[in-house]
Structure 1
Amino acid sequence: MKATMLNGTLYRDEACDLVRLPASDRGFLLGDGLFETLPVLQGMPLWWPEHRTRLTQSAKRLGLPLDHVLLDETVTQLAALSGDANTILRIAVSRGSGGRGLLPPAKAQPTLLATLAPLPDGLAFQDMTLATCSIRRNAHSITASIKSNNYLDNIMAAQQAEQAGASDALMLNTDGRIACSTIGNLFALHGNHLITPPASDGVLPGILRQQILALAPQWGFEASEATLMPDDVKKADGLIMTNSLRFIRRVTAWDDIAFTTKPDDAIAHLQARMRDHVGNLTGVAL
């Protein structure tokens, strides 16, 4: 199942790759926009209210007007097209067309582009490795805490990780503190205590991160936000990466540090509880 909606118009199959954007669209020219990505499990867009809230709050920070009716209609229509399949829904909003220069038009007419693609089997809960990259997160940049269309830092960091033979890059901020991976949030596990860096350290407040912080106490864990330095993670019992498509991934190695893995350890327990939670919400077994 593949489909695209551009400003409310639906394109399917081969046509979904042939939509046309104006050459003056600021999302393409300048990265002036936002996006959200979430799984649709047998027709249910998982945690859409949370993604919608983050998109709305980020758009407000940028002064980017949203058509909430069109947004919700787009999500509803594409989710319905998923049927019994599991898919990935990506929603991108740009400020639309504008003239030359950096300043946006006085009255923006945003572009809403949403795509639906198959969710690969086995994507969730995969083990992974991390390599520290040289690209640093600027904790003072507005793009650090929003899902900006400008992902160049993350792209370059991911390339460094690939060259190092790792699944993803671990990104530090400009003060040398742990921030995130290129596609998710990090938690260090000490006993039954999960610690994740605060947003003030250059971290995007992820939807799965939000869920872990809220649900962990019900699952027998403590969870809190605190600054993490590399030495703190080296002493951890384990490390996980979270995002909306991959849920909870166990980090088996970071640079030259290997983390002990057991079938019934705390991370396995955490993953099992998340599987049960998503199953209760959607009726889908991951």
Structure 2
Amino acid sequence: MHIYLNGQFVEKGEARISPFDHGFLYGMGLFETLRIYDGHPFLLDDHLNRLNQGLDALNINHRFSREEMNKILQRLLEINHLTNAYIRINVSAGMGEVGLQVDPYNEPNIIIFPKPLPQAGELIEKEAVLLKLKRNTPEGVERLKSHHFMNNILAKREIGESPNQEGIFLTKDGYVAEGIVSNIFWKRDQTLYTPSLSTGILNGITRQFIIELAGKNVLNVQEGQYSFEHAHKADEMFVTNSIQEIVPIISFEGHQMPGKKGELVQLLHQDYRQYCKSLWSRHCLRRNEQ
């Protein structure tokens, strides 16, 4: 498998970066994961916008455009003979002296990792389990998709390797936050609920897309701070991320739900299939309606 490293396409076993990279020494780095469907990088604009905002917050002097990134991605697909793929875009601060740096980082390390994926289609159900470990607070003003992932790793160790479960964090104040690698939604009556960014969650790209889809389908969406008891009474529940898409929940701490048979999950999944091979940004949904 070939990866992209600072302007070159190299065999993954040959890739090297310096131990003085501040992404390694101090966690100064960001990443994005996205999915490619039949050659199309779904919601690439949204991923790059979030990445560029994060780079600004970390004082890393580099910005990505759709044209630049899509050219790299298409070449990676070609070299690795891929059509459907997992993509991780990783940007670390680059080399620096040992010690905390205030000055901007001007030579970041840019690495893009591809992995083959099968064609998407069938909904895969999971159980949601409440984590004992609480969600940590963001390092800065808002949570970045950064190299600081220990809270997630410890949570994964808590529930183990089961592929059929997703752990759900509560905040230290007891509000529902997010999954280990996902955002969470639940439906009660005619309203779709999801934790607000004030809980310290990551503003997932698929989260934002689902909120747009719900609006397109004239569904009331409420973002707020919700207790476990509120979520536990859900009629339907699902979690989202850019690789697994929409994951229906069949049970949450003993409360059974319809999973992939849920009407809302089926509606959103149908829309997802419609847009995943063509949409560059969630904002395109609004333009399509005009």
TM-score, scaled relative to structure 1: 0.87
| Structure 1 residue 116: Cα displacement | 1.1
1:53: how far off? 0.4
Q: Does the alignment pair 1:45 with 2:41?
A: yes
**Distance across 2 between alignment mates of 1:248 and 1:194:** 14
Q: Does 2:131 align with 1:133?
A: yes
CA contact (8 A) 1:128 1:167 kept: yes
Matches within 5 A, 1:161-240: 161-162=159-160, 167-240=165-238
How far 1:36 moved relative to its partner? 0.3
Is 2:29 the partner of 1:9?
no
Q: Which moved more, 1:264-273 or 1:235-244?
A: 264-273
Go from structure 1 to structure 2 and tell me whether the alpha carbon gap of 1:276 and 1:5 turns closer, same or farther (over 3 Å shift).
same
Alpha-carbon distance in structure 2 between the residues aligned to 1:7 and 1:269? 41
Q: Does 1:61 align with 2:60?
A: no
Structure 1 residues 224 and 207, CA gap change in structure 2 (3 angstroms): same
Structure 1 residue 31: Cα displacement:
1.6
SS at match of 2:72: helix
Which residue does the alignment assign to 2:257? 259
Unaligned runs of 5+ in 2: 281-290
Secondary structure at the residue paired with 2:261?
coil
Q: Secondary structure at the match of 2:160?
A: helix
Q: 2:249 touches 2:259 (CA, 8 Å); kept in 1?
A: no
**Structure 2 matches for 1:72-87, cutoff 5 A?**
73-82=68-77, 85-87=83-85
CA distance in 2, matches of 1:165, 1:7: 34
What's the TM-score once normalised by structure 2's chain length? Answer: 0.86
Structure 1: how far apart are the matches of 2:100 and 2:130?
33
Q: CA deviation at 1:205?
A: 0.7
What's the Cα RMSD here? 2.5
Q: CA deviation at 1:161?
A: 1.7
- Are the aligned partners of 1:32 and 1:148 in contact in 2 as well (CA < 8 Å)? yes
Rounded Cα–Cα distance in structure 1 between residues aligned with 2:44 and 2:124:
23
Which is bigger in relative contact order (C-alpha 8 A, separation at least 6)? 2
Provide the rounded CA distance (Å) in 1 between the counterparts of 2:123 and 2:201: 21
The 3 A distance-change label for structure 1 pair 48 and 244 is: same
Q: Structure 1's 210 and 193: CA in aligned 2 closer, same or farther, altered over 3 A? A: same
Q: Given residue 246 of structure 1, which amino acid in structure 2 is its aligned partner?
A: Q
Aligned to 2:28: 32
Instruction: Provide the rounded CA distance (Å) in 2 between the counterparts of 1:123 and 1:218.
Output: 21
Partner Cα distance (1:76, 1:64) in 2: 22
Q: Deviations over 1:132-187 (max 9, x none)?
A: 11222234532862101121110111121226885221011111111100111101
In the alignment, the residues of structure 2 paired with residue 165 and residue 255 of structure 1 have an alpha-carbon distance, to the nearest angstrom, of 17
Q: Is the 8 A contact 2:48 2:64 kept in 1?
A: no
Give the CA deviation at 1:55.
0.5
The Cα shift of 1:204 comes to 0.6
8 Å contact 2:40–2:277 — kept in the other structure? no
From 242, 250, 263, the counterpart of 2:248: 250
Whether contact under 8 Å (1:241, 1:250) holds in the other structure is yes
SS at match of 1:147: coil
- Could you tell me whether the CA contact under 8 Å between 2:237 and 2:259 is conserved in 1? no
TM-superposed CA distance for 1:56, in Å, is 0.7
- 1:220-252 superposed Cα distances (whole Å, 9 cap, x missing partner): 422221111100011111211011111111011
Structure 2 CA distance for aligned equivalents of residues 7 and 239 of structure 1: 41
- CA deviation profile, 1:27-62 (whole Å, cap 9, x unmatched): 122221000000111221111110000001111112
Are the structure 2 counterparts of residues 216 and 255 from structure 1 closer, same or farther at C-alpha, using a change threshold of 3 Å? same
Mapped to 2, the partners of 1:5 and 1:47 lie a distance apart of: 20
For 1:21, what is the secondary structure of its paired residue?
coil
Number of aligned residues:
277
